Amino acid sequence: MDIYKEVNVINQRRKSYNVTVIAFLIVLLVAGVFMSISIGSSKISLSEIIHAMGKGDAASKTYRIITFVRIPRTVAAVLAGCALSVSGVILQSVLNNSLAGPNIIGVNSGAGLFAVLIAAFFPVGYHLTTIAAFVGAILSALFVYFIAKKTGASRMAIVLSGVAVSSFIGAMTDTVITLKPDAVMDRAAFLIGGFSGISMERVSFAGGFIVVAVVLSLILSYDMNILALGDESAKSLGLNVAAIRFLYIVLAAILAGSAISFAGLVGFVGLIVPHVSRLLVGYDNRILIPVSALLGSIFTLICDLLARVLFAPYEIPVGIIMSFLGGPFFIYLLIKGRRGQLYD
């Protein structure tokens, strides 16, 4: 009985700690949202924000800046960070590979290629672009997984397959943009990733897919825990491994493709955030997914703020900030993996 009591006490403390972490992250996210709306080429105070939005004067300069520039950009950063982080959690769990991420294994590249193809040859609007980005993401993810399976499905096989596929798809994307230079209005911004000039209408369409995919990921998080035990263990517990893994890859592709459709080829969020989240709350996907969603939104907001203020009045694409942070982090993971500290 004493052992059961001790276990119960540990579980209660763990739950209390997890609730505290989530509450703290929510507070940070709210603060980040306010800072994102307030900080920019023209600083807007809290009182000005409340006054402008409360009055609703469409002729007011402050109201127009907040409504048509700051809010869409903030929502885009929150949704993209959430989507890419949860996509990273899913890929790392179902592939049993801590080096997996949407940009590492070619998911981002595939989504970007199909988005560019639609913009170049079927410029009918952002609705089709979002769907095309999802299709490209899932095809590239499945292609990488197929190659890795044929070569042993080890951690390095998946990473190297992803690098090879990303390079090939990147060359195809560059070719399309070169032949159709008007396909993407701002080529550099798309290839690097950024949130400048995003409309609320475009964000809200892709955001619907992101919200649904995140909710489904939470619902299926227990099965994700089982799948992370390994294929043999999952099968012994009655899980249809092939079907469940395919479903999770589809969810990861929806999340990454939807984010890329409006944010461009934003990188490394899906690699960095899941690792930091595991340091905070461990490996249970039931708590890891919401923590990663919140932390990813906060991380992306901070990177976007840095992109605005570091070289003010000039602004750099947010993807540059993320690459400066993500590149060294990926090297660190590779070195750590060589020492046997990462799971295969």
| Domains and their CATH numbers in the chain | 2-338 (1.10.3470.10)
Report the pLDDT value the prediction gives residue 1, as an integer from 0 to 100.
47
Low-confidence ranges of the chain (pLDDT < 50): 1, 340-344
Going through 85-155 in order, the beta strands assigned E by DSSP cover: none
How far is Cα 85 from Cα 268, in angstroms, rounded to an integer?
9
For helices 269-281 and 318-338, the axis angle rounded to 10 degrees is 60
Report the pLDDT value the prediction gives residue 246, as an integer from 0 to 100.
82
Summarize pLDDT for 98-144 with one digit per residue, the tens. Answer: 777 787 778 888 888 888 888 788 776 667 777 888 888 888 888 88
Report the pLDDT value the prediction gives residue 32, as an integer from 0 to 100.
93
Report the pLDDT value the prediction gives residue 186, as an integer from 0 to 100.
58
Report the pLDDT value the prediction gives residue 344, as an integer from 0 to 100.
43
Report the pLDDT value the prediction gives residue 2, as an integer from 0 to 100.
63
Report pTM: 0.85
